[in-house]
Every structure is written in structure tokens, then in C-alpha cells.
Amino acid sequence: MKKYKTTGTYGAEIQVVEIIKETEKTVTIAVSRWGGESRPERYKKVTSYDVYHDTWELARKYLIKKVNAERDSAKRSLDMAQERVEAIELISLHEG
């Protein structure tokens, strides 16, 4: 069975992953490290870094939602910084 994995904080990548076994909270994948024999490894379906999705479209929507939230947060930070700059510019020599 296939799952679609989104990875990383700044990535916009969707990887197709072949799943050996799945539970409510984990997936098991055959992993080959450094060219060696593959062996099953279990991963959580959702971590702060990786998320496994049932369809490509769900993975895509997840990435879009995540990046939109990051953009909105950056806009709020920029707005707050601009307000601070404006407040500082209003400070006169006679205050404090």
C-alpha cells in the first residue's frame, strides 16, 4: 500500500512511500541503509517533521495549509515590527 509523506519544516516535497504495515498511529516501511539489506522500520504517522497521508491530494492540501499558516505568521510579525518602528519614530527627545 502507498502513503504520501510530507517532510521537513521548509520543504514542499511529497514522497511516495510503500507501506508494509499500518496501525492507527504508525507505519512500517522497508528501509535500506548504506546499501545494505532492507529491514522493516516503524515510524509515527505524524511528527513535527514528517506526516504520512493516505492520498497525494491530502498531502498537497496539508503542505498548502502549512505554508499559508507560516506566511500568515510572518505577516503578523512584520506588522508588529512595523508598529514598533512607528512607535519608536514618535518618541521625542523630551520623553524619558
pLDDT by residue (tens digit) across 33-88?
887 888 999 999 999 899 999 999 999 999 999 999 999 999 999 999 999 999 99
Q: CA dist 57 to 26, 30, 62, 85, Å?
A: 20, 24, 8, 42
Task: Tell me the domain boundaries of the chain.
Answer: 2-65
Q: pLDDT tens digits, residue range 23-44?
A: 999 999 998 888 788 899 999 9
**pLDDT at position 96:** 56
